[in-house]
């Protein structure tokens, strides 16, 4: 009995959190899809980012776009749909340099402003900035980061 | 920059965080969880999700020892990716002070 009550009160806690985000930003799965698709269309045309992504994604763009929709759904709407290790995925790409994160954020901001209402664009940008900063720290500025990548790699 | 699990988790261990973490970076001790700072991407989803308000960004002052503890035990404890039943007395320990000195256990949990 207590357990059931606990679980339902926690569920409604998460639902309330998500509701507040949605009320404030209007973010939903459709908006996430629009943003992700518009963003990666720009990325693929970008002279700096395009070649890196083409090399990493190859012929699997449909799968990558679906994965990125899941990722942003997990981050913005707490849906838990994405499970992965983006730190490791980025570390495997040896051609990525810090300047590419700057460019990535520039294109992301530009796209968010174009396809989202202002509150949503700000919310996406804040998350993207934190995540980009974290990936960069992990990749370039943390002692032992390379060791971590080796540890986590399948043997 | 990473998020870290702090004292408030001890003996509460609600585990709601593991359901929302997109990168599976939680590790399970006997009576608390920690975050692997090398895998956390700072998305911030877990912070408001924690009923005990135990998860903080390491940019907050005074969290150095917790960052160290998270880094240390993320290497020793098993990964946890699925929420389990919290301790029956979790609510009773929610908000209790000095839990680290009195109750912290370095023993691993069961993970999964």
CATH assignment at residue B19: 3.30.70.20
Asked, for residue B112, whether it belongs to a domain, the answer is no
Nearest by CB to A80, which of B20, B38, B39?
B20
Q: Which residue is associated with the tokens 């942003």?
A: A72
pLDDT digits (tens, 9 = 90+) for A15-29: 999 999 999 999 999
How distant, in Å, are the alpha carbons of A147, B4, B68 from that of B72? 15, 12, 6
Mean pLDDT on B72-99: 96
Min Cα separation B46/chain A (Å): 9
State yes or no: pLDDT of A8 exceeds 70: no
Contacts of B55 (CB under 8 A, 6+ apart): B3, B4, B5, B6, B9, B17, B35, B46, B47, B49
Is the pLDDT score of A152 beyond 50?
no
Q: Considering the domain boundaries, does residue B40 fall inside one?
A: yes
Query: Can you give the C-alpha Rg of chain B in angstroms?
Result: 12
pLDDT for residue A43 is more than 70: yes
B45–A78 C-beta distance less than 8 A: yes
Phi, psi of B27 (to 5 degrees): -125, 145
Q: Is residue B64 part of a domain?
A: yes
Find the domain containing A103 and state its range. 2-144+148-152
Q: Which domain holds residue B44?
A: 3-83
Q: What is the pTM of this model?
A: 0.87
In angstroms, what separates the C-alpha of B63 from chain A's closest C-alpha? 17
- Separation of alpha carbons B13 and B63, rounded Å: 19
Query: Which of chain A's residues have a Cβ under 8 Å away from the Cβ of B14?
Result: 10
Contacts of B43 in chain A (CB under 8 A): 74-75, 127, 130-131
Q: Which residue of B has its CA nearest to A86?
A: B23
pLDDT in tens, B48-73: 999 999 999 999 999 999 999 999 99
Q: How many domains does chain A have?
A: 1
Tokens representing A88 are: 């490791």
Give the dihedral of Cα atoms A90, B47, B88, B33; nearest 10 deg: 40
Min Cα separation A30/chain B (Å): 20
Within a domain: residue B10? yes
What is chain A's alpha carbon radius of gyration, rounded to the nearest angstrom?
A: 17
Is B103 domain-assigned?
Answer: no
CA distance B45 to chain A (A): 6
CATH label of the domain that carries residue A61: 1.10.490.10
Mutation for B interface: A2, A74, A91, A125, most B CBs within 10 A: A74
Q: Structurally, how many domains does chain B consist of? A: 1
- Do A80 and B22 count as a contact with CB atoms less than 8 A apart? yes
């Amino acid at each position: 009995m207590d357990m059931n009550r606990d679980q339902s009160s926690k569920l409604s806690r998460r639902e309330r959190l998500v509701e507040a985000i949605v009320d404030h930003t209007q973010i939903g799965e459709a908006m996430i899809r629009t943003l992700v698709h518009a963003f990666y269309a720009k990325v693929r045309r970008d002279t700096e980012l395009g070649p890196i992504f083409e090399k990493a994604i190859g012929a699997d763009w449909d799968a990558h776009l679906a994965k990125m929709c899941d990722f942003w759904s997990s981050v913005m709407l707490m849906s838990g749909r994405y499970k992965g290790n983006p730190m490791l995925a980025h570390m495997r790409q040896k051609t990525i340099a810090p300047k590419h994160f700057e460019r990535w954020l520039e294109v992301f901001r530009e796209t968010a402003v174009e396809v989202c209402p202002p509150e949503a664009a700000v919310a996406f940008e804040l998350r993207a900035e934190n995540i980009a900063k974290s990936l960069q720290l992990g990749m370039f500025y943390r002692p032992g980061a390379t060791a971590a990548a080796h540890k986590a790699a399948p043997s | 920059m990473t998020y870290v699990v702090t004292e408030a988790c001890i003996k509460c261990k609600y585990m709601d965080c593991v359901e929302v973490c997109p990168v599976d970076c939680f590790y399970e001790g006997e009576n608390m969880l920690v975050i692997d700072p090398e895998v956390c991407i700072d998305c911030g989803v877990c912070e408001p999700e924690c009923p005990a308000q135990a998860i903080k960004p390491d940019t907050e002052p005074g969290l150095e020892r917790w960052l160290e503890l998270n880094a240390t035990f993320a290497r020793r404890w098993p990964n946890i990716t699925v929420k389990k039943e919290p301790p029956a007395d979790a609510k009773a320990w929610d908000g209790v002070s000095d839990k680290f000195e009195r109750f912290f256990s370095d023993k691993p949990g069961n993970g999964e």
